[in-house]
Structures are given as structure tokens and as C-alpha cells.
Structure 1
Amino acid sequence: MASRSPRSRGTCVLQRALSPRDGSVVSSARYRRTCEEPLYLIALDRYKPDPASKYHFSPVSAPPGFLYDATLSDGDCKIRVTLHPNLNPLVQNNALRCGSELNSVQFAVQFDEARLGGHRRTFQVLGLETGSPAFKRLRGLNLQSLPWFGRSDGDDETAVVPLLARRTCYLPLWDCEDYYGDAWESPARRAESPAHHSESDADEESTQFVTLQQVKASFIKKSKGKLGPLTVRVLKKSRLCHFGKEDRTNECPYQADLEVADGSGAASVILWNSLCLRWYRCLDPGMVLQLWDYRVKESYSRRLGEGRESQNQDQDQDQQHIEISLNSRNPAAIIRIVPERSVQRGWRLPSQTFSFLTRAALASCPDGTVCDFIGLVRFVGRPERTRKKGGGGEEFSVYRWLQLDDGTGDGPILLKLHSTSQPETHARLRPMFIVVCTNSQLASAGSNQGGPPSYQYLTSTRHSQVYGHGQHRGRSYTTLPLVQRFIAWVHTLSEATEMSTAAVGGYFSFPPLPTNIKHYLGERKGNPCLLSMEELRAEVGRLQYREHRRFTVQGSIIAARYCRPGERQGEQGRLSTSRAGLAECSTRHYSSASSLDSASLEPKCSPVGSPEVPLSPHYLRISTPKQSPPRRSPRKRPLGKCRRKTETPRKRFALASQFKSSPAHSRQADRSLQESSASCSLADFILEQICSEFQLSSDEEEQEMQVEDPALLSPPPGARPLAWSGRCWQGERLGGAGVFPETVPRRYNHARWELQTRAAGLQPACLSHTLPEPARELESFSPASSYQGCYSITILGLNERLAVDAVFLPTMPAGPHSVPHENSLASVLAHGGPSPSRPPPAPEDLIATAPALANKHFLFVLDISQQGAERLEVVLNRAYPYP
């Protein structure tokens, strides 16, 4: 895009607002300006403050964990500013995000007194108001080429670093475990940079290398003197660890560890501080490294055991109880990557080993089994955030669910994938591709008082690595027999069938909860952690963007309604600015609506069982459906090699809704059919392409399978909305009666996978990667075949002071929890779905049983997630009748 030519100094908004009136330098106290004309937020950056950061704020507004720098533009130039900590809640709730139009922005300036002349100025934003989306006004601009406000032509400071802390780089916007920003050198730049190679390379033949065994022996004997260089192979690589603290000055507080080995033993290699910036991205398991100028310490795990007599001092020194520290100074470590073709047999380096297990083999493995897994992705869930323990309530971890199938066992395996410090790989995860996850750990849930576990799934660990499409070629695991058998199985699949069931995003909960209150309380050891409605309101007020939490409350059901797929629903409410932590977040008033989602918050569904009621400004009225990934239909395969013994449908671990008789709009059905046909025609060779990385091909041509679109099987629309209202509620409400676009799983569209993945992901920190209206973009994709509508349930607390509007999405429980029951609404709410032994009931039949719910006491399990801009997703997971 061509950039628009800057306007003159007098017409540039930022110049008019921020330049001194008389051209002189004024004091910080008197340099307060308000820009009344619109400005646009084009980037947000986050970092940990350091001890000096507190001097930039008054004692009552000291940085409470993180600081945020923002890049603002008026369309002619741009400026980097620091947001006052009182504005942090706006960012944390995604009400202030890239693409927002800002009005009445209050600026304060600080001069750099430690710099000669004090010319460097830091602008703080003290208050603002968010307005309508800015994308139309910024369309056609090359934001990267816009000049910086106040930067002279001779100013060579081009590094984008935190403004109010001595940090080398920024943190990701939503977690602390990925790398982020230009400060992290790409592997290509690292490989091309000769400065990172040792000056001793020319003398390599005369260099005396040592072994890990010799290093351990020297450490135990406390020998003095410089140790020789090491040659080791990397076996495992950990994710990044950020250890920055507000009370410590450390410019690059990062750490990562590598598990390495040679022919004599194994040890941990720790990369510290700026070495992580230079080397982390280009070091992979399987590589051979040569290390100079390192330091040796006792391993961290060993230091934790100090004072315990659990280990003998005379144990074999082959045990791994040392760690090798690599620092950028004192001494400055030297790292050299040895190409595999240059590895000498005399070094006796161990080969990289794998422990791949199949889905069938995992069924008999105990909890905690660490293994590698390869599978075809069928479902990729949306990213969710949870608070980290020990993070002071400000640090979050990000995870998502993946459904993988390898053609063995009783069904697919679910992978709970946390960050592995591979942001580019995670951003490209999508269905219809082969994924390898190394060092994953087996977990189980739902055991019944000492019996076998009901559900098994994998979780990523600290040393997990994920490899997707384009990353398999040349890796040693591609030739393993188990992997080759898996690739042969993939060649037998019908692409049309796989594409029809592949899904992205949406609400997803796993493992399923028990089917009755007795088992539920048993799993929780009798402690349901009940909250009053007032406590629930307070806890919800503290939720941050995409934070997911589960709550248990008591009450009764006063209304229920069935909402068809695609049905526009009532207006989605939002939490008021008086919510905890937001009342004092600005010295100015601001709009509580997100600038990006204002257009998407159209009327969606009238309140369940009651007329539209004006909401108290203190509560968030929102929608949320419970959603799960799709249930696969029986798969038809062409005859040939690797054909499986049975063709019966496999259980989907509560991924499938059974309400096949629900109506759907013809417009949605037509769009769904068109997308399905287009995706299949564009993806005729997807499976063949992904298998090519494993150097295995099939000699048989795959048969084209025609799949009927589930939406076409539904009866035509026209019936009036089904609803039961046992009682009309005119009081305060929490939540709403609609379904968010983020809540509904979407049919995978291969032709538009990048747009679909970004729309379902977390809000990016840069405008160049931001969608104009993510919710609108999600609605352009058809719902997955598993989504057959939802039920809106209104819950009233026992004290009748607050009602909660939640969404219930029926699913089919699997395993021991899948027990026959009557298909009444009360029973379906307790079991999570209809009876597996009976035909699924029609929505009319379920609503007809709703009057039996009146005046009954229930225990409700609610899954609540903040979807940004104070849009609250409330999903009813279970409703247990109280005895």
C-alpha cells in the first residue's frame, strides 16, 4: 500500500496537540495537553516495570505488575506513548485494543533528565475515550512508513524498547512464555551472522575437547582452571522462562534449558539473559553444539533437595546433577552449531530418540506417561487463558484443545496444548494437517472411586515441541515404523469426509462432568466451592480477556428457550464501568463498548422467558453457548491397504450434539453447502501434500465421497421460537441470552484458513495483524456440523436478588458417565445431553417438559469467559437437581 503524504505541520493533529505553543521547552508540570481530534491505536506493547519505573508515577498509582506502551497515529505521523497504570484494566479486558479510535486523549510529558539537554520526551496518556472503529480511516495507509512524531532526521534511535523500564524487549500481550518483537533474531539471521561463530573454529583440529563425565568429575573435585570445550547433542529444549521482577533491574530476564548428552553422560545447559535473544529460536532438539567458556553449577533440582538425605554423596557421577550455564559475560560463552554432515563418528554422540505411542497403546498406560504423539488434526479450539499460580494474579498461561486421530484405539485423543514458545507454529495450527507433539504427558480424569479412568488426554509439558506442516521434512522421526504406518493410514482417508467434520474454535469443555450430583461431589471430595450470587458477580468483575473460570452456584430455573442455528438473538449486554477495577481506570469517562465490536453487537435474542428489561449499569448482559467440536459421521474408506477392521462410528468424547432434528435457516444451509464444496475442491490434494514430508506415497487413487450437508437434513424454518417462562424477572441480570460468534465452532474452510485462524485467536498486538471486526469475520464461516442450536436458561438465585442468563449446548457424554436416562429437560441438563439409549428428542419435546423445573432447587456449574470489550460468555455446563 502506498502511504499518504503527510500534511503540513499546522494541519497534523499530533503536531498541533503536542508541540509547545511558543516553541519553547516547558516544564513537565505545565505540559499537559488534550487532543480533541481522533487518534488511532495501531500497536500495544507490554513489559515488566523495574525499580526505576515507579519514579514516573505517583505513589498511589505505582505500576501494579505490567506497563503498556501504545503507538498512536493521526494518519500523518505516529507516536509511542505510555499508558497510565489506571488505564491498564482497559487493555486487560480488551476494551482498548488495536484499531480503536480514541477521542479526548490527555497527554502528559516527561523529559529525560539523564540525557544532555533533556531533549528526549516521554509522553504518558492519562485518560481517553474510545469511539468507533478506525479501520476505514486507516485503510490504504502504510503504517510502517509513517514518520515518528518529534524524531529529528539525525536521530538514529530506531530500536523499539520499553519507554519507562530498562528492558531489552517487550513481552507478548497475553502471556509471558513466547518470544515477541524484533529483538528476537530469526534463525536465518543467526545462521548468516559470522560474529556468532568461534574464533577457534580454524584451530578446531588442535582443540582438546572434554566430555561431560570429565566436567562432572572436575566439578566434584572442585578443580580450578578453565575447562575445555564440549561437544554435545541437544535432546530436549524447554519453553522460555521470563523471570523479570518489579524490584530487580535486569534488561533481559529470560532463561531456557537444553537437555544435552554425549557418549559419557547427560547434563542440562542453561541459556541466560541475552543469549536467549540470540540463540533460542535457532536451537532445536537433535542439533550438535560445541560450547566454549561455560560455567558449571549444581543442578537446580539437586539444589532444591539440599538438606535432604535422599541422595548418597558417593553416587555414580554419571547421574545428571550438574548444569552448564551459558552467559553473555563473565565469561562470554561461545556457541557453535555443528552441521550433521560434519559430525564425526569418534565423538560417540547419542542419537535423538523418540517414544511414539498410538492411541490404542495409551489406553493401557498409567497417568504421567511421557510420550511423543503424531496425529491428524480434526479440531483446533480457541485459545483460553488461566491465571498462573505464584504470578501475583497478573500472569496468565494460554492453552487450547486439539483433537488428533491416528486411526487406532476407540477414538481420537485430545491434546491440551499450552505454549511451547513456538508462536509461529501455534498460529498455523489448523485441521487437516499432521501434527507431532513431543514430550507430551498422559493425564486422566473421571475415575469412579478407585476404578479405571473415564477419560484420557495428553497435555504438553515444559519440554514439549510441536511440529506442523512444513516442519517435518528431514526430521529423524519421519522414518520410524509407527510414523510410516500412520502415514499409510492417512492415505486411506477420504478428504471430502474429513473436511465435512473438521472444525475450528468455539466453546469446548473437557473432560465431561459427572451425570449426577453425588458423583460430582465425590470428584470434588465433597467441596463444590459454592458461591453466592453476589460473590459470583464480584468474581466475574475480575475476569480478564479470554480468562476462563468455572463457578458453582445454587438457584432455580425460571425460563428456558430453544434458539435455532443462525437465529439472531437479543441485544448482548456488557459490564458497566463501575465494575471492580474499572471505575478508577481513567481520569476521563470512556465508552465501555469495544471499538472493534460495536458493529457486531447487534440485537441477538430477547431475554429468556421475559420481555426486554433495561439493565442496571453495574452488570454485564451477555450471551454464551456451550459448544463442542464436531461428531464425525461413519467414515467410508476406499478398499486397499491399512483398512481398519471395523467401520463403525467411534465415540467423540462429548464432541457431538445429538439434536439432528432442529431446524436451520435455508440461507445458512446454502452457505454451508457452498463452503463445503469449495473447500473440498480446493483441498483435493491436502492429505497428499502433508504426507509428502514423510516420503511415503499411496499407489491407489482416493475415491471422492459426496457428503450431505447436515443443515439440508433439517426441517425448514418457520415455526415460532420455543420458550417456556415460569416467571418473569424484572430485576438485575448477569449475562445475556445470545450466542457469541466466538462461542460457536466453525466449519473449517481451507481456502480461508488464515483469516479463520486469526479470527478465532487472541487479539493481536499490532494493527497489521488485526482483523477489522473479528466477530463479524467469524460469522462469515458456517457453524460446524455439531452445532444444532442452543438452549437459553435463566437462573434465579435462592435469595432472588440476581438472575443469570446462560446458554446450554447439549452434547453426548461418553464412557462410564454415559448412562441411560429419561429425555426430559431436567435430565438432559444434568447429564449434559440426551440419553444414548434413546432417539434424541426434538426441541419441542424438551421445552414441553420445562414446567416441571419450576420451584426446584438446582446446583449449577457455570463456565464463564470474558470475550473482550466486557462481553461475558456464560455457559451452563451442568444443572444437578438438589435432593
Structure 2
Amino acid sequence: MENVGLWNDFPLKLSSKHYLPLWNNDDPEGEQWLPQRATPDLPLDVSRIILLCDLEASLGNTWGCLPLLVRVIHKSRLRYYGKCDITDVKKKVDYPYMAYFEVADQSGTMSLVLWNELCLDWYHSLHNYSVRDSYPSRSRPQMDHHRLRIFGSKEISLNRRNAVSVLTVVPQKNLPVQRGLPDVAYKFTCRSELKSLADNTACDVIGLVTFVGRVQRIRCPYDKGPEKFWTYRWVHALDGSSHRPFILEIFSSSQPDIFHSICPMTYLVCTQMRVCRGQGSSTPFLTSSCETEIYITGCHRGQPYVCDPRVKDFIQWTKTLKDGAILEKTAMGGHYCYPPAPPVFTQPMESGSVQVALVAAGDLQREVQSLQYREHKRLAIQGFIAAVRYVERPHDTEPSTGEAQVAGAASSGTSEALAERTASDHRDNGTSGGQTAPAGGATSPRSYMTRAKMRKRLARVSTTPVRPQDSSSESESESESETSAMGSTSQEGLVESNHDPAELSQLLRWESSDWSRQRQELSTHLFGDRLHQDSLTRKFSFEDRSALLRWSGLPPSHWTPDQPSETLPPVACSGYYHITILGINQQVAVDAAFCPVMSSEDPRAKGLPLDPHGNSLLSCLSTGFLCPLGDPAPPDLHINLPSPEEIFQTVGELEGTHLVCLLDLCHLGGDRVEILLNKVYQVT
């Protein structure tokens, strides 16, 4: 006989009755969360209904609370307040969730709090209740445009016990005329009006999505717990009022299905977004608030905003568009961070939701090892650029091994370095770092260059920018000999031989005059020898939609059957610069990839200050783009950007230049760590 109980979606630990979502604490997870309920067609008795303005007078009355008839105006995301260290059964709450609602009747608005089990039953849907003093420190939506009186000193508390709460969803057609409730009001803003809004102003927006970044995570700054993360992604959307898009920082708003389905060519509505301005750009962006709700194509039917004049104007504008022309401007995934870094480095410095800290180079290894899956950090270190090489045509296929490893040098009397893999303990796969193996060990999943081999190779490389002239046969024989010396590893895992001979002949290299000596004295070298494909955006197409959504999103929380292999569209990147940064103490070095913006259609170009510069390597590192980078040129007009060879002619400027380097770190799963050089500042 089949055991039906085994199919119930309950946690493995029987002492707990709820699941936490895998990637954050704010999304509903599990079958206990009931979907939106159908509204029953029942008669409504309004004879004993009390108004919100009269609730304060009823506080403490022994006859109990009379029914309320209100309309939900705003809904916050879920908030998990549970603590994993509670062992007292009497104090333990089975479903420690809460959610705030702003509700209104004809007398005004008031906050309503949904507690514990009622969140499972009613969060997706929405006559007894309790009235209590309002919590003063919580965030609140901006509701001036509703033109209603706000009762902020008290709030309605709904719970399953201690005054059992009874909720009923009333269909619009059953509302009595004499109890007319205020309509939900919106405050839609055009892109052309955004610059005139003050910081922290709340607004609603609608737009056609043209770019969707990958889903990333940051640690919640208000919770020091080890598992408190926020998930977010960057989105660009056009509304027809300007050629510039809305730049949206969208955090998960307890709508996981919608959040993970955002893709280009969809109509996106975001409510209660807040205006922000960064130090590095005059272009404002919008970020989510606790009350933000998002809707995409397929979710708009029946929503109150469909009758808003701004929404109707947007729909009329979309009817004038040609899908092919818009598709050419769409992109998805890859590294993206906004706003651009400011022109002058100051401490402390903020970049959007990212707090930028100046850390010692010796602490960088600890920062890398502490990264959790898809966690993004931006850090600054002081140092010098010790080596640069240009790599053409990154592979579309990816190695199965890591992007960044930590190689710790042994004592000065040792001829070879020890290779140490950097991998932190991740919640998603449970792997742990600290695996150490000699550079020539056959058990290592990746090969490392020994110092002796590196010296032999670098002896043939001039410290001035030149093209290597090795023939294909020499490169092949060298790769074969090194592979034999290092042990049996895959060709993709080699530090140098992951490029074919044609690519090797195109590499440009430069080293500072002291790098050969300084390299021997390093205690730690964070290796990152190639640009990861997950760092680059890809063109969007409807045929690749499902594959791109899986690639740019987070792995599912539930087991899913293996998907058939899907081919992603190629990345648009002609090459990148591999930069070795030597810490100010000259004991730690880190390899980072620098991929400059080369087109105004690159999503990263939005908001960049386009001041012209001389296209030296130092000026490119300082600005992040090649010049000129103006508006998109007509097809018959060719803009000549400097070639890597021309840029390398100026590489001598880096010799001995003291810099502050901004690094973007992101854990990409397994032992893959993305280390990107965002910008450099000259120290004067």
C-alpha cells in the first residue's frame, strides 16, 4: 500500500513545521502556503461595522472589537523573525512570520499586521482582531497621493489566538454603496521626470524590459545572523518618454515566481520604488522598498493600475514598436553593478546597496573564502599593477574547475609553491575549502605553474609590450611537456594551455621591472587566470528564453528532473585584460579580469560619465571604457576604437604607480570565484 504521508511537504526535522527558502528568508516556501483564494459570493452584514477612526476609542473595551470593512492599499514582503536557538516549546512559534498591510476605509488608513499561521493562509489572498500601539521604527510606504488621513499611532493585529481573527475577502460587487471604500491609487512616474524627483521619493513605474542581470545575493545589513541574505537583480526598462531606461534594483518581494521570470521584452510594473542617487553618476536609479510589488506580462489582468492614464499611454507607445528593433538592444545575465564608482575615492563609500570597504591585501583571501553562493562584494585594496596580459576570444565553453585559487608560497628555501584552493563552506553544496596539494600533484583537479617553469617561460617575454612570436608547433610542444610534468589533467584546466596556439600568438604581455623578484617573495597569490563566461551578458531571444532564465537565475529549491542540454547564445566580448595586482605590502598578489565597456549599447554603459580620455591603459582602468563611447552610431558609420596593441603602447605608465583598486567579487558556485577589476584610483 502506498504511504501517502511520505508525500507531505514537511521539513525533515520533525520539531520544525516550516521550511526556509534556500536563498533568502523572505519568500514563501512549501505547500503550507495556500494560493490566492477565490472570493465567495456571500451576503455582507454591515450593520455593526466600525470605522478605522473609531478604533482608538475601542482600545481596552471588554465587549471586543467590531468588524472592519477595509481595502488593502499596500502589502509588504514577508518578514521572518524566527530564531533557530529557541528550545523552549512554549516560546517556540511554529510559523514565525509577519507581514504588514496598509488598509483604508472612508475615514483614513491604518497598518494591519498578519502574524504567524495567518500568513500561510492569507498572505497570498487577503471579524475579530486586536488593536495595539504601532511599532515606531518600521518602514512605511509613502501614501500622500491617497489624500487620506493616516492613523499611525495604532495598528490592527491579526492572529490565530489571543483574540481569534476571522478574515473574509469580499468581492467588489458585494460592497455596499454606503460603505464606499477608497480606490487603490498609484503614482506612476515617467523616465523623463525621474531626474526631478528628490532622493527617497516613492513612485510606481511601468516599462518594457531590455536588460535583466543575474540574480545575486548580499548580506542583510540589519541582521548579523549567518543566514540572512537578500536576493536582487538589476533591470533596465524603457517607457517611451526618454531614450534612457529606468535602472531598477529589484529585491525579491515574496513573489519568487515573478522575480525569477523577469526577462527582456516583458512589460514590468514595480510599485513603491524609491529614488536613489549614487556618488558616481548623475543618473538616478530606483530601488525596492519593503512594500514593493512587481508584475510582469501575464499578471496584469485585473490589477487596479490598468486604468491609470500613464499605463494607457505606455501601452499605446508599445504598439508603435517593432520587436526586431527592440530585440537587438536586449541582453541578459552577466556581471552588472550600479551606480558607477565615483571619480574620487573616499572612505566610507557606498555604491548602490554595496558598501565599499578598503581592506588590507592580506585580508582579501579571507574575504574570498567567506563568500556564499552568488554573494556579491565590492572591496578596495591598495597596491601596484605588476603584470598585464591581453586575452582574445574567451572560450564559449567553461572549465569544470575553479576561476580563482589561492596559491600560498612556501618558505624562501622552497623551489616550488603550494597550491591552495579557495572554497568556502556553502549552504547549497556543503563543500569546504582548505584542500592543499603540491603543484604537481596528480590528485589536483587543476594544474599550476611552478616557479621554475614560470621563470623559464617569462625569460622569453620582454618587459615591454610585444607580441609573442612562438610558432604553433613550439606552443603545442610546450603545452604537451608541461601537461606531462604537471600530471594528468584536462586541457581546460591548464593555466596557459587553455588557449589554442592561435590565441597564444595574439596575447600581449607586460610586467613591471621588479615583478620577477617580487613574485618569489609572495606569501599568497590569488589566481584567476580567465574571465568566466557567467561574467558576460548574452543576447536575448525568445527561443533561448528558458535556458537564459535558468542560467541567470538561482538553482531551484526543489529537485527537478535533468533538463536536456541547451545551447546558450554566444557572449559578445572580443577580449579582456588579465591584471595582476601586487598589494602595498608586496606579500599578497591577486589576479583580476578587466573587461572595458566598448559600446554604448553595453548595459554597463548606462550612467557612465563619458568624459573623453586618451585611451591609455591607465585611463581605461580609471574610467572603465574605451573612448569614444557616444550614442549608437548609424550602421554606415564606423567608430574606430583603439586596438589592444595601441593601448599596450602606454602600459609603461603603470610602472610603480600607487593605486587604489576596486574589486568586484562574486561566488559562482563550486570553487568558481569571480574577481573583476572595476576601477582604479591614482594615489597622490
* TM-score with structure 1 setting the length: 0.60
Q: How far apart are the structure 1 equivalents of 2:57 and 2:273?
A: 33
Contact 1:759 1:771 in 2 (8 A): no
Does structure 2 retain, via aligned residues, the 8 Å contact 1:572–1:602?
Answer: no
* Secondary structure at 2:102 match in 1: strand
Instruction: Report the Cα distance in structure 1 between the residues aligned to 2:505 and 2:340, rounded to whole angstroms.
Output: 32
Q: Distance in 2 between matches of 1:771 and 1:740?
A: 23
- Pick from 267, 272, 278: which aligns with 1:445? 278
SS at match of 2:136: helix
Give yes or no for contact 2:107–2:149 (8 Å, CA) kept in 1: no
Alignment of 1:216-235 (within 5 A): 216-219=56-59, 222-235=60-73
The secondary structure found in structure 2 opposite 1:720 is coil
Match of 1:254 among 97, 101, 121: 97
1:672 aligned partner: none
**Are residues 1:268 and 2:111 paired?**
yes
The alpha-carbon distance between structure 1 residues 480 and 191, as it changes in their structure 2 partners (threshold 3 A), is closer
Residues 560 and 847 in structure 1, CA contact (< 8 A), matched pair in contact too: no
Aligned mates of 1:559, 1:217 — CA distance in 2: 74
Question: Is the counterpart of residue 214 in structure 1 residue 25 in structure 2?
Answer: no
Match of 1:783 in 2: 571
Equivalent of 1:509, from 337, 352, 369? Answer: 337
In 1, are the aligned partners of 2:212 and 2:235 still within 8 Å (CA)? yes
1:855 is matched with 656
Match in the other structure for 2:78: 240
1:553 correspondence with 2:372: no
> 2 CA distance for matches of 1:153 and 1:513?
60
Superposed counterparts of 1:117-266, under 5 Å: 156=5, 158-164=7-13, 166-187=15-36, 190-191=37-38, 204-205=44-45, 207-219=47-59, 222-248=60-86, 249-266=92-109
Aligned residues: percent identity? 33
Q: What amino acid is the match of 1:295?
A: S
Out of 295, 298, 305, which is 1:470 matched to? 298
Report deviation, 1:372: 0.4
The match for 1:878 is 679
Check 1:369–1:586 CA distance in 2 against 1; reply closer, same or farther (3 A cut). Answer: closer
In the superposition, relative to structure 1, how do residues 463 and 243 fare at CA in structure 2: closer, same or farther (>3 Å)?
A: same
Cα 1:587–1:369 shift into 2, 3 Å: closer
CA distance in 2, matches of 1:374, 1:252: 35
Corresponding residue for residue 478 of structure 2: none
Q: 1:328 to 1:613 in 2, by over 3 A?
A: farther
User: Which residue number in structure 1 is paired with residue 129 of structure 2?
Assistant: 294
Partner of 1:802: 588
Aligned partner of 2:668 in structure 1 is 867
Which of 266, 269, 277 aligns to 2:120? It is: 277
Change (3 A) 1:879 1:590: closer
Counterpart contact for 2:421–2:434, Cα < 8 Å? no
Give the Å deviation of 1:428. 1.0
Aligned residue type for 2:109:
A
CA contact (8 A) 2:70 2:181 kept: yes
- Residues 379, 154 of structure 1: alpha-carbon distance in 2 compared, 3 angstrom cutoff: closer
* Alpha-carbon spacing, 1:351–1:586, altered in 2? closer, same or farther (3 Å): closer
1:590 and 1:613, CA in 2 relative to 1: closer, same or farther beyond 3 A? Answer: farther
Answering whether residue 187 of structure 2 is matched by residue 355 of structure 1, we say: yes
Tell me how far 1:551 sits from its aligned partner: 1.1
* Equivalent position to 2:233, from 400, 421, 446: 400
2:254 to 421, 424, 433: 421
Report the Cα distance in structure 2 between the residues aligned to 1:795 and 1:256, rounded to whole angstroms. Answer: 47
The equivalent residue for 2:625 is: 833
Q: Name the counterpart of 1:761.
A: 553
Contact 2:579 2:592 in 1 (8 A): yes
- CA drift of 1:541 comes to 1.2
- Describe the SS at the equivalent of 1:485: helix
Q: Is the 8 A contact 1:213 1:318 kept in 2?
A: no
Kindly indicate whether residue 245 of structure 2 is the aligned counterpart of residue 412 of structure 1. Answer: yes
For residues 492 and 361 of structure 1, the distance between their equivalents in structure 2, rounded to whole angstroms, comes to 22
Matches of 1:351 and 1:537, distance apart in 2: 55
Instruction: Report how far residue 816 of structure 1 moved.
Output: 8.3
SS across alignment from 2:276: strand
In 1: Cα distance, 2:255 partner to 2:561 partner: 17
- AA paired with 2:12? L
Report deviation, 1:562. Answer: 2.2
Contact 1:442 1:456 in 2 (8 A): yes
Aligned partner of residue 156 in structure 2, secondary structure: strand
| Structure 2 counterpart of 1:432, from 265, 268, 271 | 265
- Partners of 1:302 and 1:225 lie apart in 2 by 31
| Greater Cα offset, 862-871 or 371-380 | 862-871
Q: List aligned pairs for 1:291-690, cutoff 5 A.
A: 292-301=127-136, 319-388=151-220, 389-409=222-242, 411-446=244-279, 454-515=282-343, 519-521=344-346, 524=349, 529-567=357-395, 572-573=402-403, 575=405
Report the AA paired with residue 672 of structure 2.
R
Q: 2-side partners of 1:800 and 1:591: how far apart?
A: 23
CA RMSD of aligned residues (A): 3.6
Q: Is the 8 A contact 2:423 2:431 kept in 1?
A: no
Q: How does 1:9-20 map to 2 (within 5 A)?
A: none
Q: 1:817 aligns to what SS in structure 2?
A: coil
Deviation at 1:218, TM superposition (A): 1.7
Whole-angstrom distance in 2 between the partners of 1:395 and 1:882? 36
Counterpart mapping for 1:691-770 below 5 A: 720-726=506-512, 727-728=515-516, 729=519, 732-768=524-560
The one-letter code sitting in structure 1 at the alignment partner of 2:613 is: H
Aligned equivalents of 2:69, 2:230: Cα separation in 1: 35
Asked whether the equivalents of residues 735 and 873 of structure 1 are also in contact (C-alpha less than 8 Å), the reply is no
CA contact (8 A) 1:821 1:835 kept: yes
Give, as a single letter, the amino acid of the residue that structure 1 aligns with 2:275. L
Amino acid at match of 1:794: T
Q: Deviations over 1:534-563 (max 9, x none)?
A: 111112111111111111112221222222
Q: CA deviation at 1:752?
A: 2.5
Name the CA distance, whole Å, in 2 between partners of 1:373 and 1:331: 40
Amino acid at match of 2:541: N
Instruction: After TM superposition, give the deviation of residue 500 of structure 1 in Å.
Output: 1.5
Q: Normalization by structure 2: what TM-score? A: 0.77
Q: Is the 8 A contact 2:110 2:150 kept in 1?
A: no
User: How far 1:510 sits from its partner (Å)?
Assistant: 0.9
Contact 2:421 2:435 in 1 (8 A): no
- Structure 2 residue runs of 5 or longer lacking an equivalent are 87-91, 140-147, 407-419, 437-443, 457-501, 630-638
Distance (whole Å) between structure 1 residues aligned to residue 529 and residue 677 of structure 2: 12
* Structure 2 contact 404–526 (Cα < 8 Å) conserved: no
Deviations 1:431-473, CA, capped at 9 Å, x for gaps: 00110001111111127xxxxx612000111001001011112
Distance 1:276 1:855 in 2: 60
Change (3 A) 1:592 1:397: farther
Query: 8 Å contact 1:507–1:743 — kept in the other structure?
Result: yes
Query: 2:248·2:286 contact (CA, 8 Å) conserved in 1?
Result: yes
- Taking a change above 3 Å as real, the CA distance of residues 874 and 573 of structure 1, as seen in their structure-2 partners, is closer
Q: 1:350 is aligned with what amino acid? A: P
**Contact 1:857–1:881 (Cα < 8 Å) also in 2:** yes
- SS of the residue corresponding to residue 157 of structure 2 reads strand
- The question of whether the paired residues in 1 share the 8 Å contact of 2:391 and 2:506 is answered with no
How many angstroms apart in 2 are the aligned matches of 1:610 and 1:385? 41
Q: Distance in 1 between matches of 2:97 and 2:571?
A: 41
Counterpart AA for 2:369 = G
- Which amino acid in structure 2 is aligned with residue 782 of structure 1? P
Counterpart secondary structure, 1:880: strand
